[in-house]
A and B are shown apart, each in its own frame.
Chain A
Amino acid sequence: MNPCAVTTGFFVLGRCGRPSVTVCRCGRSVCARHVDPQGQCPECAAAQAYADPFHPGWARGYRRRYYEQSSGMYNDAVWYSRFDSYDRGQFDAGDGFDVGGYDGDGFDGDDGNDWVDS
């Protein structure tokens, strides 16, 4: 089973890495925690919720636009590609899997049972 390829965090990027249960239409493997009722990953789901910060997925939808804007402002293409390659799953940060950013589901980061190494 492929690990969940959902990018977690905002400034501090990580990747989920739980066992996936499905593949989103964008090609990303998604775990049970990150899949929405339509079978989408958080970023595809949040793309529809851009404007409303009360939507729980807002920050994940806004993240790509933030990286575009800030790398433009800083004239720093590396800054954007850091996010983009991470998000496209091309980034191999060695032990690039997460320790569990906050998922809004009360998941406790100390509970290592559903983490995989690669």
Chain B
Amino acid sequence: MFWRKTRAAIERFHPVHQGLIWQRTASVTLPPAEWDAVVASLARHAETVKRRKWRLPDRTVAVLVPLIRVLCEDVAPKGAIGITADLRGPKVPEKTGPSRKFPGRGRVRNITEWFAHDPWLAVRAELRDGSVLELTVTDRVRYRRIHKVNPRGKHKVKTKSKAVQRITARRTLQPGQEVRRPGSPPPRSVGVRIKSAKRTVISATAKLGPAPAEQDQLQWILAVATEPFRWTPPAATVRRTA
């Protein structure tokens, strides 16, 4: 039992942290102080756990931790942040759609194509100005398995993938919260919709192809989240009562 000590150390991690190790998922709503405890636990991971099999999913440190930090800035102590993260990647069976086989031409015998639908992040945060921010990130991956025969009659199979991504940010305002159209439209990659009701809802959507690289992912999520905040003047974002 060479890894017994590591396993014992993992059992002392925050339960949300443990879930990210064992299931590579998290689905929980917590107040900011408790998210701080989750992040503090995750911070100890790299020095404690050396086994590759038990490493954190890449998006934990690249996306989840900084996003939690950002949201904690805007959520009052008694507010809540709900995060549903499925960081198992697009290749698990539940995310895989049906495949179709196409006949090939020339040396290509056939091409098998299928899509994976990977909604890997959903966030809901009750902000301290009384509005509610909801974010989602979904990857759609196209796989093509190409079966070739080379001139010497040798069979080769190669799988190519191409990912696109959809990011949505929806902010539901407090009743009566002031709405003001921003001076410039959003960039072409971001669409915006305003639903005027008792509580105005501002929704921004971006479809990105190709999906952003890991190191740009957080920046893209925050960029889409920006649009709903441009629609409220700063004075209305500061309230004296929680």
Contacts and interface: CB of A to CB of B under 8 A. Distances in A.
Among B42, B66, B77, B227, the most chain A Cβ lie within 10 Å of the Cβ of: B77
Q: Indicate the size class of the contact surface on chain B.
A: 35 or more
Nearest to B232: A12
Interface stretch (B88-96, B147-155, B181-189): B181-189
Interface stretch (B1-9, B10-18, B158-166, B218-226): B218-226
A106 B33 contact: yes
A13 interface: yes
Interface in B189-242: 219, 222-223, 225-227, 229-230, 234-235, 237-242
Contacts of A69: 219, 223
Among A12, A97, A110, the most chain B Cβ lie within 10 Å of the Cβ of: A12
Main secondary structure of the interface of B (DSSP, over half): helix
A59 B226 contact: no
B238 A14 contact: yes
Among A69, A108, A109, the most chain B Cβ lie within 10 Å of the Cβ of: A109
A33 to B, nearest CB: 13
7 contacts: A11-B127, A13-B234, A54-B39, A74-B230, A82-B234, A102-B77, A109-B76
Interface of A: 8-15, 53-54, 56, 58-60, 62-63, 66, 69-70, 73-76, 78-79, 82, 86, 91, 93-102, 104, 106-110
